[in-house]
Amino acid sequence: MVAQSLFPALAPTIEWRDGDLLLLDQTRLPHEIVVEHVADAAAVWRAIHELRVRGAPAIGVAAAYGLCVAVQDARALPLAQFRAELERRARWLDTARPTAVNLSWSLRRMLQRVLTCGASDTAALYDALVDEAQQIHAEDQALCEGIGRHGMPLIGQGSGVLTHCNAGALATTGLGTATAPIYAAHREGVTFKVFADETRPLLQGARLTAFELQQAGVDVTLIMDSAAASIMSQGLVDLVIVGTDRVAANGDFANKIGTLGVAIAAKHYGIPFYVACPSSTLDFRTPSGAQIEIEERCDEEVTHIAGQRTAAPGIKVRNPAFDVTPQELVTGFITERGIVRAPFERSLGSLFPAAGNAA
């Protein structure tokens, strides 16, 4: 695994080992390194829904392998029944999280393989599914490398880079998306600083991004979400790079809640704002951000910290997991094929004519 050489003490984010799916439980980081053996469809669904595996690209890879796990107990069925059960369980897995497009993209691609592989028995069909999942896994690593290669020139000597949430190696199976240019620049000996937003309420920036950058030897400083604008005002940030869970056809994009505020502050201070976006996260079926479904999560994520209540009992809570940033706040999308600039509907569509149309 490309990314794991950065963190020799960590297990791979996702590992497929002779029919067994192993997931690094990200809810336990950075205090514990726990690898979960995911043995059935329900366990796959829970792992995605409960954020034990998270980050749009990693969710896509986990879903592909997860579908293989989900139908292992159905391999004795006749071929037609196996196909029907496969489709049913894919639809159910797709309900685990609604916003990250990689989940549905990956499952559609797996089902498309079923339609085209020409398998004459259940065993051959299952083998084709595993092969497709392994291809998705390998492609995710290659996408991260491409984003790193094209985004690296944006980071100059002495730069200050701000990022939000975790679009790092832990959110993928490679170098990450938003962190790929960071790791690429660090690998080339560029000296720069990274400011990582803590990312409330689940602190992915504090628990994951700051942790993995520190482990890789990158100069990283953890800041409160509410400090981002102030850090920008002091001239400490030259560049913002964030990830994304879904990019609409017009360039609006969904990312972890708080991204919109970072984009607005960057616009105010004239700081370039880039989105690291693998083609697997493009969704040309969705015209604009207005049509992106935003996941609402449980109240306890806001009312409690580390299991301890911090808000008054009975208080009303809104807990959207994502917000939508309009395309006019985006300087460019860093993709595996290059940096895409406005007008995004035309430029994204030209560079990725088939994106979002799998199956």
List Cα–Cα distances, 53 to 13, 56, 305, 351, in angstroms: 8, 9, 20, 30
- The answer to whether 135 is annotated as binding is no
- The answer to whether 256 is annotated as binding is yes
Helix (H) or strand (E) holding 67: helix 56-70
Q: How far apart are the C-alpha atoms of 216 and 335, rounded to whole Å?
A: 23
Among residues 144, 125, 60, 54, which one has the least CA distance to residue 94? 60
- DSSP secondary structure letter of residue 205: I
**Active-site entry in 238, 245, 252, 323:** 245
| Angular region, 306: left φ>0, alpha ψ -120 to 50, beta rest | left
- The answer to whether 54 is annotated as binding is yes
- The answer to whether 267 is annotated as binding is no
- The answer to whether 316 is annotated as binding is no
18: annotated active-site residue = no
Distance from CA of residue 221 to its chain's centroid?
22
**Number of helices (H), then strands (E), in the chain:** 12, 16
DSSP3 helix / strand / coil % (the chain, rounded to 5): 45, 15, 40
- The residues annotated as belonging to the active site are 245
- Which residues are annotated binding-site positions? 54-56, 97, 204, 255-256
- The annotated binding site for substrate is made up of 54-56, 97, 204, 255-256
